[in-house]
Every structure is written in C-alpha cells, then in structure tokens.
C-alpha cells in the first residue's frame, strides 16, 4: 500500500483568496464575504483506534487555502473519522491537525471555527431557517440586527430568501441542506467540512446542490474538506481527491490525474470502470497480455508469482473487427456519445470496451473482434481468485 | 349498475357504522367508569365543603408543604435526569438499557426499605427537615421522569444537532439550554407533570416519615370531616387535570411549530421521520 504525500504542486490552480473575496463582494452583490479567507490545513500522521479496529492509520495530507479536497473511499475506510478529528468531535490517538500552522488537535469543536454540513438533516427543529443560520452568529454575540441581515443575505445566496420564516419540517430535504450550508458559512469558518451532505437527497436535487456548493466554495474561497463515497461527486467537485482504504490514504491527486494515472490497483478499480485482463509477468518490467508484451507501470516487486491481472480502462483498449479475432461482442450499450461493448475473451473473461457511438454502430453483438492494448505502461495487480 | 354500486356501498358502510357504534359504546362505558365515582364523591361532599376547605385546620400548611416538595422534587429530578439521559444517549448508548432497568427499581423496592436506606445515608441536618422527603421523592419520581425525557430524546437526532451546535461555537451548557431543552419541551413537561402528580398524591413515605403533606392531611382529616376530605380530593384531581391540560396546550403549540406530534409520553420513535 502506497501513500502519496501531498507535494503542494498539485494544489488548486489560480484560486487566490483576494480575487475570490472581490468576486463575492461584487459578483453576487452581497456584502457578506469570508473575512478569514481560506486557511491551510495539515493532517500529520493521524491515528485513531476503536477497540481493536484501526479506523485511521497515520493519515497525512495537506490542504492549501481555498482548496476543496474530497476524501473518497468505501464504507469503513476512515474518511468520516478523519473529518470528525478535523471538526473536533473526536480526538486522535496519535498525530495532529494543524490549521494555518497551529496545532488545534486538543481544541474542542466549539472553538475551532469550522463550519460543518452533516449527512442527516441537522437543522434545529425549534428554529426558523433564519434563526438556524443566525445561531452561530448568536453564539459569537453578533448584534441582533447584523445577525438578521447577514443570515438573510446567506439565505438569499443559497436561494432560500423566501423561506426565511419557515421551520425545518416545512422545508424539503434539499432546502434543509442548503440552509445547513448557509448556517455553516455564516460563521465565516476557517474550514468548511462536508460529511456526505448530498447522500440523503434524490438525484436531481443532488446534482443542483453539488453545483451550488462548488460555486459558493469557489466564490468564498473557503478551504473545504468533503467526505463522500460517491466518486462522481468527488471527481466533479474537488480540486483534489484523496482515495482512502483501511485508514490510509492510497493516493491524493487532481481528479483527472487520479483517473488517468492511478497509483495503486485499488485506486484504479475504485475510481471509474476498470477491466482485469489475465496476463503473465515475463520479467519485472513487462507483462504478456492479449498475445502481446507491454511494459509494467511502477514496481512489480510486491507481486509474487507470474500470474497477474492487467488493469485497463474501457476506453484504453483497441478493438478491431476481424474474422478470427480473440473476442466476441456479446452486448452493446448505448451511452450517448460513446457505446460500451461487452467482449467475451478466450478463457471466459468478459471485458468492457468504450468506442465512439458512430464507430460502435458497426459492431453488433455476435461479431468477432480483435482486442489489443496500446504499448503504454500498464498497471498490474495480483490475479483475482 | 348504479343500484349495484349503491348496494355495494351500503355493504361496505355497514361494518364501518358498526365499528363507529362500538367506539361510542366503549367510550361511554369508560367515561362512566371514571366519572361516576367522581360524580358520587362530588355529590357526597356538597358545595359547602369546598368553601370549608380553606378554613380547615392544617389544610393550607399541608398543601403548601406538598407544593414546596413538588417544586423541589421536580427541580432536583430534572437537574439530575436531563443531563444524565443526554449523556447516556450521546456517550454511552450501550448503557441505556441498564439505566432503564435501574430507574425501575424504585417501583419494585417497598417505600419502607427506601426510607430506611435514605435515613442511613442522609446528612444529619437534613434529617430534621421535610426536604429529606423531597430527596426520597426524587428516587420515586425517577422511573416516570427518566422515561418521559428518554422518549423525548429518542425523537430527536440528538448526536447530530449537538455536534451541529458545537461546531457553530456553542458550549455544552448553551447547547443544553438553547438547543436540547427547547426541542425537549414536551418530554420535560411530561416529566414535570408526572413528578408533580406523584408528589401531590404520595402518602406512604410522608406518613412513615411523619410529615403532614396534603395526602396525609386528607387521610387524617377524614376522621373528623369526611365531606371536606372528599372535596379536597376532588380539588387535587382538578389541579392535576389543569396541569395536564396545560401540557397538551403547550405541546400542541410546539407541535405546530416543529412539526412533531405531541403526546404526554412522546413515546413514538421518529428516527426515520425524514
């Protein structure tokens, strides 16, 4: 398992906080702006055990001011634990959380200045939308008139100005999460924490809110840590995505890098669709697959034996129609601009191949095809049982 | 065709009518069961007995003592039970069943045993005051108060709203006062009314501790003036009914505001409300 430390070079490009603040002030016509701007965040070797289970195992990562980082991973990988340690709802057994270089590991949640949007609707049922948004300001003893003005502005910003006087039970799930977002932003947090805020919403609302969160985050320049198990959400919203597994960070990179150049087989298979094609290691640098020799990406030292699987994305395969090919098309699924072909290879292996729909139209099910790989380095994994 | 559907409708409406009729019969029987003894008692007491209540020797003293005990018991019970229940819900959810079992104990332990136990451990100065009785009542009120508060807490997504409150800068005490308690009004009111009703009606402990609370006065006074005693009993029932009415009114108002159904015990789980 490989942990890729954040190098700083891949941090969000061109998101200067001064520019963002100006955009907030002028672009939206709203006087509210994040006074504190985005803060830098560093997680250093965070470890957290629950009994015998190691939920986090030396998690290390950095976030640049104004950056949106998504932590992505399967259930139980430790992403929510990491978020809770940053929020101050839980404390690490080892390691530290640094905000703008200051260790806040032992500071309670109430004094961390972090806004959080939860997975479940977390609005206070006894308060109106306006009062919910103003709650954090009330705790900071902001004068009532200013509190009301600021809360109303934030509700306008999330498109709920007309619902200011409504109670949570009178709002839809999507509206409640937007109020929760406004409430979290009202305190001008140093870091915004999002704990799967869209998972309880239906697909259409999820898409709208996803865009709204990203737009707001970019406008306000708030450093944001976003936890999700939905890769589409993570890839579409984040400046960088960290893929977690068993309490460790497998890889953290820009979404396109993560997709195109996964560092480990787990990342490769977790992000996007990935084919496993049986191959044979000939030496430590090359593998024989589909009757051709291709170079191996990275080191194969960790793999014992010569029987391996070669990991290739559906769009990374070459398919040619030929009479006596190495595969037969069994299904064809139209996905818009591309069409996905399921091809049965010898050895009872089925793979997916994406082709432009205009080309795939000429490859009906039952047709014999020749599947091959470009001569680029490929990622390999131990042969699946 | 129309005749056929009319017949079908009649066939369908017959069981509905019958069910409605049975409901009324049961309601009237239950009402008679509760109201007839009250009517008989009121009739036995007569109007004059209510006027004579105030002037009866020891009435105001006993009533005032019971009211003070009710206030003290309620305050201590809520001060103990609310943070305990919140803490157990948040930090030790595995102990909820244990606590439920513990809070039932006062119901199964005879009052005389409780009194003996409390007298053994109570500080000396307290033994000579009626407030000792208040502490004993706190133990007695535990099962009712804990259940009412527990049911209210279960209807909330407590962990999330507490964490949301903390993340917005609220301390634990402010979270308790400004977030949890306003959302727990019905549970707290239910705990209050059950505690008050228990204190106003408790006889055994007060009698064994030799304090003349309102129920003890009723029994003692019964020897000399039965009609006035009965009037006193009806008076105390009326007070309890008023408190219950108050809870329902307050609860209904809150229910309209927060969209939560309201009942005295708030027993229905609403975990999946969204």
CA gap A212, A218 in Å, rounded: 10
Q: Which among A87, A125, A187 has CB closest to B258?
A: A125
Residues in chain B where the model's pLDDT stays below 50: 1, 262, 265-274
Domains by residue range for chain B, with CATH: 48-273 (1.10.3720.10)
- Quote the pLDDT of residue A299: 67
| pLDDT in single tens digits along all 385 residues of chain A | 333 333 333 323 333 333 333 333 333 333 444 444 689 999 999 999 999 999 999 999 999 999 999 999 998 899 999 999 999 999 999 999 999 999 999 999 999 999 999 998 899 998 999 999 999 999 999 999 999 999 999 999 888 899 999 999 999 988 999 999 999 999 999 999 999 988 878 888 888 888 888 988 888 899 999 999 888 899 999 999 999 999 999 999 999 999 988 888 899 889 888 999 999 888 878 899 988 999 988 766 667 677 889 999 999 999 999 888 899 999 999 999 999 999 999 878 999 999 999 999 999 999 999 999 988 888 888 887 6
Please indicate whether, in this complex, the C-beta atoms of A121 and B161 are within 8 angstroms of each other. no
Please indicate whether, in this complex, the C-beta atoms of A125 and B163 are within 8 angstroms of each other. no
Please indicate whether, in this complex, the C-beta atoms of A116 and B167 are within 8 angstroms of each other. yes
**Helix or strand or coil: residue A3?**
coil
Q: How far is the alpha carbon of A319 from chain B, nearest alpha carbon, in Å?
A: 48
Look up the ipTM and state it: 0.78
Mean pLDDT, chain B, as a whole number? 83
Please indicate whether, in this complex, the C-beta atoms of B182 and A87 are within 8 angstroms of each other. no
CA-CA-CA-CA torsion sign (B164, B170, B173, B179) = negative
Beta strands A379-382; A307-312: pairing state? antiparallel
Q: How far is the alpha carbon of B37 from chain A, nearest alpha carbon, in Å?
A: 42
Which residues of A are less than 8 Å from B164 in CB distance? 116, 118, 122-124, 180, 183
Q: How far is the alpha carbon of A66 from chain B, nearest alpha carbon, in Å?
A: 20
Strand order in the sheet with A41-50: A53-63, A41-50, A94-99, A102-103
Looking up tokens 């809770």 gives A84
CA gap A364, A350 in Å, rounded: 16
CA gap A20, B69 in Å, rounded: 62
A-B CB pairs within 8 A amount to 87
Element (H, E) at B82: helix B59-91
Which residues of B are less than 8 Å from A191 in CB distance? none
What global pTM score does this model have? Answer: 0.77
- Quote the pLDDT of residue A304: 65
Please indicate whether, in this complex, the C-beta atoms of A125 and B183 are within 8 angstroms of each other. yes
- Quote the pLDDT of residue A184: 93
Q: Which among B168, B258, B260 has CB closest to A135?
A: B168
Q: Which among A120, A121, A136 has CB closest to B169?
A: A136
- Quote the pLDDT of residue A14: 32
User: With an 8 Å Cβ cutoff, is A111 touching chain B?
Assistant: yes
Which residues of A are less than 8 Å from B160 in CB distance? 118, 120, 122
DSSP for A101-139, written as a single string: TEE-TTS-GGGS-EEEE-SS----TTS-HHHHHHHHHHH
Please indicate whether, in this complex, the C-beta atoms of B170 and A110 are within 8 angstroms of each other. yes
A72: left (phi over 0), alpha (psi -120 to 50) or beta: beta
**Residues paired with residue A340 on neighbouring β-strands, in sequence order:** A333, A354
Please indicate whether, in this complex, the C-beta atoms of A87 and B163 are within 8 angstroms of each other. yes
């Amino acid at each position: 398992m490989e942990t890729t430390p954040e190098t700083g070079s891949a941090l969000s490009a061109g998101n200067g906080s001064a520019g963002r603040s100006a955009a907030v002030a002028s672009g939206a016509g709203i006087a509210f702006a994040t006074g504190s701007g985005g803060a830098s965040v560093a997680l250093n070797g965070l470890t957290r055990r629950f009994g015998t289970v190691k939920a986090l195992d030396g998690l290390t990562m950095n976030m640049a001011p104004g950056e949106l980082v998504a932590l992505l991973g399967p259930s139980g990988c430790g992403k929510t634990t990491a978020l809770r340690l940053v929020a101050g709802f839980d404390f690490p057994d080892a390691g530290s959380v640094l905000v703008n270089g200051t260790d806040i590991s032992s500071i309670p949640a109430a004094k961390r200045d972090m806004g959080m949007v939860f997975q479940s609707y977390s609005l206070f049922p006894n308060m109106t939308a306006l009062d919910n948004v103003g709650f954090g300001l009330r705790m900071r003893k902001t004068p009532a008139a200013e509190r009301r003005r600021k809360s109303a502005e934030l509700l306008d910003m999330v498109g709920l100005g007309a619902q200011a006087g409504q109670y949570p039970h009178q709002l839809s799930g999507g509206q409640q999460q937007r109020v929760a977002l406004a409430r979290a932003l009202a305190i001008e947090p140093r870091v915004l924490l999002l704990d799967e805020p869209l998972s309880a919403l239906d697909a259409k609302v999820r898409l709208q809110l996803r865009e709204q969160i990203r737009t707001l985050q970019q406008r306000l320049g708030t450093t944001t840590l976003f936890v999700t198990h939905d890769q589409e959400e993570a890839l579409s919203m984040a400046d960088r995505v960290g893929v977690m597994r068993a309490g460790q960070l497998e890889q953290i990179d820009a979404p396109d890098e993560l997709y195109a150049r996964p560092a480990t087989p787990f990342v490769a298979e977790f992000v996007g669709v990935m084919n496993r094609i049986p191959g044979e290691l000939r030496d430590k640098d090359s593998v024989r697959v589909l009757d051709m020799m291709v170079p191996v990406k990275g080191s194969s030292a960790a793999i014992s034996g010569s029987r391996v699987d070669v990991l290739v994305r559906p769009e990374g395969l070459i398919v040619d129609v030929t009479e006596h090919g190495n595969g037969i098309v069994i299904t064809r699924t139209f996905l818009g601009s591309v069409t996905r072909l399921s091809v049965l290879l010898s050895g009872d292996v089925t793979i997916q191949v994406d082709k432009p729909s205009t080309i795939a139209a000429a490859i009906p099910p039952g047709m014999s095809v020749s599947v091959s790989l470009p001569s680029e380095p490929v990622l390999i994994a131990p042969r699946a049982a | 065709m129309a005749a056929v559907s009319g017949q079908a409708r009649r066939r369908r409406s017959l069981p509905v009518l019958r069910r409605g009729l049975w409901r009324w019969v049961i309601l009237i029987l239950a009402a008679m069961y509760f109201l007839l003894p009250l009517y008989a008692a009121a009739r036995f007491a007569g109007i004059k007995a209510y006027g004579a209540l105030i002037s009866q020797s020891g009435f105001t003293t006993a009533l005032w003592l019971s009211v003070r005990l009710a206030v003290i018991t309620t305050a201590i019970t809520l001060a103990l039970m609310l943070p305990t229940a919140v803490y157990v819900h948040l930090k030790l959810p595995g102990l909820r069943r244990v606590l439920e079992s513990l809070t039932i104990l006062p119901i199964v332990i005879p009052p005389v045993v409780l009194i003996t136990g409390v007298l053994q451990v109570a500080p000396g100065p307290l033994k000579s005051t009626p407030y000792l009785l208040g502490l004993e009542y706190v133990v007695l009120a535990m099962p009712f108060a804990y259940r009412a508060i527990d049911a209210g807490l279960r209807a909330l997504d407590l962990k999330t709203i507490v964490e949301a409150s903390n993340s917005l800068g609220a301390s634990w005490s402010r979270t308790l006062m400004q977030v949890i308690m306003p959302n727990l009004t019905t549970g707290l009111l239910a705990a209050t009314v059950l505690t008050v009703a228990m204190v106003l009606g408790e006889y055994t402990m007060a009698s064994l501790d030799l304090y003349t609370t309102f129920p003890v006065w009723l029994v003692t006074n019964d020897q000399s003036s039965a009609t006035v005693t009965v009037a006193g009993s009806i008076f105390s029932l009326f007070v309890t009914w008023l408190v219950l009415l108050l809870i329902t009114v307050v609860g209904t108002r809150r229910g309209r505001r927060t969209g939560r159904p309201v009942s005295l015990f708030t027993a229905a789980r609403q975990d999946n409300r969204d």
